[in-house]
């Protein structure tokens, strides 16, 4: 069986909340003295997501309207066996991948955009603001807002805005309004641009701008694409579906791999399986892969830091490269975040998750090999997971082990062709390792 599908009515009915099972408690967010901060989170987040953010209930029901929208947008997504890739690698390992690229917006991001838009609408809100790196999150939120009839403003990291011009078009089709960040629309954006007119932008800066926009306007909430607990929660529909699909295939995973930016696709894909490990019922390995140019989990410090650049968010305990870190302008724009989900950070710190890095050259090589074998052109972000899945499969070739390797294909790369073009023509800048 190469394609394992579930029917519409098998969309999960509940989200899995790993807060109920973590091996230690996540330290509460702190406010730092002398900083202008978001004193009142309720002013920018919906009641629905705030409740989820701090909940310790193990399973949280998915509202029927949200589940219905998931079905209309094509969920559940299929799980594929990468038989052609296995043959190309001549490995005894079995490789499976979850097709989050099959969502209409091309990535897993719609899984959290839909509930976030739904809960904001329920509170009577008229517009959502947000940040976007590569543009996947802004695209998903623009579509989700149009589904619930709300406006959407997107601050897009400038370097990606320039690298991926058609992202703006897609967001525009769905009704999203897009500004390159740093922008002229916020006080913070104007300040950053005045200091450096050629600033490439960063997710941290775009988050600051989006929060500021929500803070100064009533009837406007801010929505975040990753890192926070409620986003990890929403994404757990991925892993719950994979569980059922692997049961159908009569497989148990030995290694599960995902790329990590803020941690949401990795968390959503692995948390339902990490639960088994926490319960002592599994020895699956979990590997998060990040760019060597933005090595948050492998080289960051596990301590309190701000989630944005200007220090508007509370201090959060997480792996971080420092809130003023500006990652080099690599093509995997979705992985250029200085911080990491507090839940993923804690699990890494406690040894439940392993982290690896991959260089830009390596990921385009892996992405191209995968595309030739399987047909799908992967997002550069997802290619980080592919790179390590290929490494694991090659190891199996040496040892003769028949491991079951499962990775999350978080998105397609059909709007990342500038990066692929540079790779194919040999003009991709070499990043340091």
**x-or-dash string of contact with ligand PLP, 262-301, rule CB under 6 A:** xxxxx-----------------------------------
From the list 132-140, 157-165, 321-329, 394-402, the region that binds ligand PLP by CB under 6 A is 132-140
From the list 130-138, 319-327, 355-363, 369-377, the region that binds ligand PLP by CB under 6 A is 130-138
What are the backbone dihedrals phi and psi of residue 227, each rounded to the nearest 5 degrees, phi first?
A: 70, -50
Q: Which is nearer to ligand PLP, 193 or 265 (CB)?
A: 265
Characterize the bridge pairing of strands 79-81 and 94-99: antiparallel
From the list 22-30, 213-221, 237-245, 259-267, the region that binds ligand PLP by CB under 6 A is 259-267
By CB under 6 A, residue 334 contacts ligand PLP: yes
Q: Which of 166, 144, 115, 95 lies closest to 417, judged by CA?
A: 166
From the list 245-253, 258-266, 293-301, 358-366, the region that binds ligand PLP by CB under 6 A is 258-266
Q: How far apart are CA 429 and CA 412, in angstroms?
A: 22
Residue 169: CB atoms within 10 A of its CB come to 11
By CB under 6 A, residue 229 contacts ligand PLP: no
Residue nearest to ligand PLP (CB): 411
From the list 175-183, 209-217, 261-269, 414-422, the region that binds ligand PLP by CB under 6 A is 261-269
Q: Which is nearer to ligand PLP, 107 or 147 (CB)?
A: 107
**x-or-dash string of contact with ligand PLP, 84-113, rule CB under 6 A:** -----------------------x-x----
The answer to whether 82 and 391 have CB atoms below 8 angstroms apart is no
Q: How far apart are CA 76 and CA 11, in angstroms?
A: 6
CB of residue 64 vs ligand PLP: minimum separation in angstroms? 26
Characterize the bridge pairing of strands 3-4 and 79-81: antiparallel
- C-alpha distances in Å from residue 394, one per residue of 90, 353, 365, 372, 387: 8, 21, 15, 18, 11
Q: Which of 10, 18, 13, 7 lies closest to 343, judged by CA?
A: 18
Q: How far apart are CA 339 and CA 358, in angstroms?
A: 18
State the residues that interact with ligand PLP by CB under 6 A.
Answer: 107, 109, 134, 136-137, 226, 259-266, 334-335, 379, 381-382, 410-411
């Amino acid at each position: 069986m190469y394609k394992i599908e579930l029917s519409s009515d098998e969309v999960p009915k509940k989200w899995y909340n790993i807060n109920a099972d973590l091996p230690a408690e996540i330290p509460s967010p702190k406010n730092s003295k002398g900083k202008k901060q978001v004193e009142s989170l309720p002013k920018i987040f919906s009641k629905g997501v705030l409740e989820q953010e701090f909940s310790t209930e193990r399973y949280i029901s998915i509202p029927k309207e949200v589940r219905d929208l998931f079905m209309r947008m094509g969920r559940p997504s299929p799980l594929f066996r990468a038989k052609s890739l296995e043959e190309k690698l001549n490995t005894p390992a079995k490789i499976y991948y979850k097709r989050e690229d099959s969502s209409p917006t091309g990535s897993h991001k719609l899984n959290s955009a839909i509930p976030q838009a739904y809960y904001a609408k329920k509170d009577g809100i008229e517009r959502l603001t947000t940040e976007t790196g590569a543009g996947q999150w802004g695209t998903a939120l623009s579509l989700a807002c149009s589904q619930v009839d709300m406006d959407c403003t997107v601050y897009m990291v400038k370097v990606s805005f320039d690298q991926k011009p058609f992202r703006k078009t897609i967001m525009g089709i769905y009704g999203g309004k897009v500004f390159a960040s740093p922008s002229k629309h916020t006080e913070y954006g104007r300040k950053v641009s005045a200091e450096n007119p050629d600033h490439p932008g960063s997710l941290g800066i775009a988050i600051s701008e989006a929060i500021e926009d929500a803070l100064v306007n009533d009837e406007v909430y801010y929505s975040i694409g990753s890192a926070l607990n409620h986003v990890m929660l929403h994404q757990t529909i991925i892993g719950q579906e994979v569980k059922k699909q692997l049961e159908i295939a009569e497989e148990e995973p030995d290694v599960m791999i995902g790329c990590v930016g803020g941690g949401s696709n990795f968390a959503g894909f692995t948390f339902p399986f990490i639960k088994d490990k926490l319960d002592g019922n599994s020895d699956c390995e979990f590997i998060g892969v990040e760019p060597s140019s933005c090595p948050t989990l492998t080289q960051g410090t596990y301590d309190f830091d701000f989630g944005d650049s200007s220090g508007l968010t509370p201090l959060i305990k997480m792996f971080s490269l420092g809130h003023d870190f500006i990652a080099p302008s690599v093509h995997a724009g979705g992985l250029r975040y200085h911080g990491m989900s507090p839940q993923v950070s804690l699990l890494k710190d406690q040894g439940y998750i392993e982290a690896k890095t991959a260089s830009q050259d390596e990921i385009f090589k892996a992405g191209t090999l995968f595309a030739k074998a399987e047909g799908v052109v992967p997002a550069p972000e997802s290619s980080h997971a592919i790179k390590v899945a290929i490494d694991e499969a090659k190891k199996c070739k040496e040892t003769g082990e028949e491991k079951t390797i499962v990775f999350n294909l978080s998105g397609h790369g059909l709007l990342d062709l500038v990066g692929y073009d540079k790779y194919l023509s040999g003009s991709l800048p070499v990043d340091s390792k």
